Chain A
Amino acid sequence: MPLTHAYINEQLTAHLSEKLIAWEESYGMASATVQADHNLKTLTFLHDEPSLGFQFMTDITAVHYPDRKGEELAVVYHLHNLVENIRLRIKVFVPVASPNVYTATGLFSGANWMERETFDFYGVNFIGHPDLRRVLNVDEMDYFPLRKEYPLEDQTRIDKDDEMFGR
């Protein structure tokens, strides 16, 4: 029987019950939001359960939503079951003041640098990561540049009007 979104939803609901906060499907991909402290449990379950088999970590990144108070940072995982060829997105929301989630490096060696990159740009603290250092920016940097409070352009410039050009 081919793996379906409905089956994944059913399995996750049964396994996580109220820890599965939201489930949506858009543009052909299912996306599950789970409670932040259950990120590793969810990934492990999806990885180890034979009927699910999400054993390929495509991507890890984060998104900053400054308007969502108390859950400003979203850590986003893209998983892939290569056998059934089905993708799944897992999201966890954490407050920007204490952005702590568990590392996935124990499951996926490839998560190492992806998590370092996420830490580098968003400051997400991956608990248990073997080597959580900056990867693309300089080590001396003391802020997390992709957070929304850091504007792209030099704010002292007066020759550009945001009303007319770009965001």
Chain B
Amino acid sequence: MTAEHVNINLPEGSIEKKTTRLNLGPTHPATHGVFQNILEMDGERIVHAESTVGYIHRAFEKLAERRPLYQITTLTDRLNYCSSPLNNMGWHLTCEKLLGITTPKRVDYLRVIIMELARITDHLICNSIVGVDTGAYTGFLYVMQYRELAYEIYEEVCGSRLTTNMGRIGGFERDFSDAAFKKIEKFLEEFPGVWREFENLFTRNRIFIERTVGTGAISAERALNYSFTGPNLRAAGVDYDVRVHSPYSSYEDFEFQIPVGKTGDNYDRFMVRNEEIWQSLSIIRQAYQKIQNMKGADATVYHADAPEYYLPAKKDVYTKMEALIYHFKIVMGETDIPVGEVYSCVEGGNGELGFYLISDGGRSPFRLHFRRPCFIYYQAYAEIVKGAMLTDAIVTMSSLNLIAGEMDA
């Protein structure tokens, strides 16, 4: 904290004669995460904000320099923990780009299902929290049971729920079980009705509209200058989406639309996320259909042929020499990574999640840098809330979808 903004001259006609300093955070119930804002208040109005982050910094980039590739997946879980599988897949795609592994179509489609499911859970939390912060708690609890169902799908696929560590380099650790497909079907069947109802509660709700329209706005120029990505940038009217601009995991095979907003305010951000959920549902349906239509060997494959990085089946380890060797080398982290330098990115829950990976031929990355979208766009918060009411600043904070885990790495 600096002393320079203590005596801010208040405008003519200000009721308060001097500003009040308010500490919003680091553990404030309205911030939904561990970060602090030191606000200089003129009554209810913010005249200056200073954001402090780093309270849960866990040195992931340093840790990654000592770990073999497959152990880094667990670090990516803990970035944006509202959509961990998306980060996991982003990391696997980065490794595959460096290692030159191409994955079968079925793996791509299974990944797409999981990634879009993760996007839904991410947006679902964000939008329902915006609801909570504008005074509507019911919607949050109501849709939460469907996040639960999505987490059950994760559980069927990989065994865990929040920090998923899902998938491996080259594909998935095992094929999706019938129970997983049943649960995906159930989700596709039941969730749209629930989400429609949630949407009806908000999108034309007068209280909600008055709280969100025109608050927390950022123009397209400023958003681009601040390196915004994801729904926040699209809400300002720029149709940049990594899934379309540089398709990965066979996204080019799917029909979907990129919703864009106009004003970049809280309402537009809410609406963009809302529409993205519908698009994600449509993508999941298409991917599920494509998987169902597969025949023969294509219909059972769930990983690429990459023996140096993909763990062999346990029964092969006991009976086959090669499998035993690969198993040992992978588990002990003995596999050398080829020399190279890649930047790979995916459309994460809240923007372009990038991985900048440099390998010098050792067992672990020489350098790994995460481009964390919300760390980058959070710096605009002080500019966005300047002159706003405190209550609007809270809504802005939730509608930007700030995840402390991702911000602090």
Interface positions of A (Cβ within 8 A of B): 26-27, 29, 31, 55-59, 61, 63-64, 76, 78, 82, 85, 87, 89, 108-114, 117, 121, 134-138, 145-146, 150, 152-153, 164-167
Q: Which residues of A lie under 8 Å from residue B409 when comparing CB positions?
A: 136
Query: How distant is the Cα of A59 from the Cα of B229 in the complex, in angstroms?
Result: 12
Q: Which residues of A lie under 8 Å from residue B380 when comparing CB positions?
A: 109-110
Q: In this complex, what residue of B is CB-closest to A136?
A: B54
Q: Which residues of B lie under 8 Å from residue A150 when comparing CB positions?
A: 62
Q: Provided the pairs A31-B341, A136-B409 are in contact, do residues A109 and B364 lie with their beta carbons within 8 angstroms?
A: no
Instruction: Mark each residue of chain B from 217 to 229: 1 if its CB lies under 8 Å from any CB of chain A, else 0.
Output: 0000010111110
Q: In this complex, what residue of B is CB-closest to A85?
A: B245
Supplied contacts A57-B227, A114-B227, 12 more A-B pairs, CB within 8 Å: A29-B343, A59-B356, A78-B343, A82-B238, A85-B245, A108-B225, A111-B227, A114-B376, A136-B53, A136-B54, A145-B59, A165-B333
Can you offer 22 A-B residue contacts whose CB atoms are under 8 A?
A29-B342, A29-B343, A58-B352, A63-B366, A78-B354, A78-B356, A82-B240, A85-B245, A87-B343, A89-B343, A109-B379, A110-B377, A113-B375, A114-B376, A136-B409, A137-B57, A146-B62, A152-B62, A166-B67, A166-B364, A167-B362, A167-B363
| Interface membership of B18, Cβ < 8 A | no
Q: Considering the complex of A and B, which 9 residue pairs feature the smallest CB-CB distances, nearest first?
A: A110-B227, A136-B54, A113-B379, A136-B57, A61-B369, A110-B226, A59-B371, A27-B342, A109-B225
Instruction: Mark each residue of chain B from 45 to 82: 1 if its CB lies under 8 Å from any CB of chain A, else 0.
Output: 00000000110010101110111100000000000000
Do the beta carbons of A110 and B65 come within 8 Å of each other?
no
Q: Provided the pairs A27-B342, A167-B66 are in contact, do residues A112 and B379 lie with their beta carbons within 8 angstroms?
A: yes
User: A144 → chain B, closest Cβ, in Å?
Assistant: 11
Do the beta carbons of A58 and B333 come within 8 Å of each other?
no
| Interface membership of B86, Cβ < 8 A | no
Query: How distant is the Cα of A135 from the Cα of B59 in the complex, in angstroms?
Result: 13
Q: Which residues of A lie under 8 Å from residue B53 when comparing CB positions?
A: 135-136
Q: Which residues of B lie under 8 Å from residue A78 when comparing CB positions?
A: 343, 354, 356, 371
Q: Which residues of A lie under 8 Å from residue B367 when comparing CB positions?
A: 63-64
Q: Which residues of A lie under 8 Å from residue B320 when comparing CB positions?
A: none
User: A50 → chain B, closest Cβ, in Å?
Assistant: 16
Q: Which residues of B lie under 8 Å from residue A165 when comparing CB positions?
A: 332-333
Q: In this complex, what residue of A is CB-closest to B362?
A: A167
Instruction: Mark each residue of chain B from 394 to 408: 1 if its CB lies under 8 Å from any CB of chain A, else 0.
Output: 000000000000001
Query: How distant is the Cα of A26 from the Cα of B359 in the complex, in angstroms?
Result: 13
Interface SS, B side: mixed
Q: Which residues of B lie under 8 Å from residue A167 when comparing CB positions?
A: 65-66, 362-364
Query: How distant is the Cα of A145 from the Cα of B240 in the complex, in angstroms?
Result: 34
Q: Which residues of B lie under 8 Å from residue A64 when comparing CB positions?
A: 367
Query: How distant is the Cα of A58 from the Cα of B369 in the complex, in angstroms?
Result: 12
| Interface membership of B98, Cβ < 8 A | yes
Q: Which residues of B lie under 8 Å from residue A136 when comparing CB positions?
A: 53-54, 57, 408-409
Query: How distant is the Cα of A102 from the Cα of B83 in the complex, in angstroms?
Result: 36
Q: In this complex, what residue of B is CB-closest to A153?
A: B66
Q: Which residues of A lie under 8 Å from residue B57 when comparing CB positions?
A: 136-137
Do the beta carbons of A166 and B363 come within 8 Å of each other?
yes
Query: How distant is the Cα of A153 from the Cα of B358 in the complex, in angstroms?
Result: 21
Do the beta carbons of B62 and A145 come within 8 Å of each other?
yes
User: B223 → chain A, closest Cβ, in Å?
Assistant: 9
Instruction: Mark each residue of chain B from 342 to 385: 1 if its CB lies under 8 Å from any CB of chain A, else 0.
Output: 11010000001010101000111011010100011111100100
Q: Which residues of A lie under 8 Å from residue B97 when comparing CB positions?
A: 27
Do the beta carbons of B354 and A109 come within 8 Å of each other?
no
Q: Which residues of A lie under 8 Å from residue B63 when comparing CB positions?
A: 152
| Interface membership of B289, Cβ < 8 A | no
Query: How distant is the Cα of A59 from the Cα of B373 in the complex, in angstroms?
Result: 10
Q: In this complex, what residue of A is CB-closest to B244?
A: A85
Q: Which residues of B lie under 8 Å from residue A29 when comparing CB positions?
A: 342-343
Q: Which residues of B lie under 8 Å from residue A138 when comparing CB positions?
A: 54
Do the beta carbons of A76 and B376 come within 8 Å of each other?
no
Q: Which residues of A lie under 8 Å from residue B66 when comparing CB positions?
A: 152-153, 166-167
| Interface membership of B246, Cβ < 8 A | yes
| Interface membership of B192, Cβ < 8 A | no
Q: Provided the pairs A145-B62, A167-B363 are in contact, do residues A26 and B227 lie with their beta carbons within 8 angstroms?
A: no
Q: Provided the pairs A31-B341, A63-B358, A167-B65 are in contact, do residues A55 and B371 lie with their beta carbons within 8 angstroms?
A: no
Chain B, range 309-363, C-beta contacts under 8 Å to A: 332-333, 340-343, 345, 352, 354, 356, 358, 362-363
Q: Which residues of B lie under 8 Å from residue A111 when comparing CB positions?
A: 227
Q: Provided the pairs A29-B343, A152-B66 are in contact, do residues A110 and B379 lie with their beta carbons within 8 angstroms?
A: yes
Q: In this complex, what residue of A is CB-closest to B226?
A: A110
Do the beta carbons of A55 and B62 come within 8 Å of each other?
no
Do the beta carbons of B98 and A27 come within 8 Å of each other?
yes
User: B4 → chain A, closest Cβ, in Å?
Assistant: 11
Q: Which residues of A lie under 8 Å from residue B226 when comparing CB positions?
A: 108-110
User: A125 → chain B, closest Cβ, in Å?
Assistant: 19
Query: How distant is the Cα of A57 from the Cα of B62 in the complex, in angstroms?
Result: 24
Query: How distant is the Cα of A89 from the Cα of B343 in the complex, in angstroms?
Result: 9
Q: In this complex, what residue of B is CB-closest to A114?
A: B376
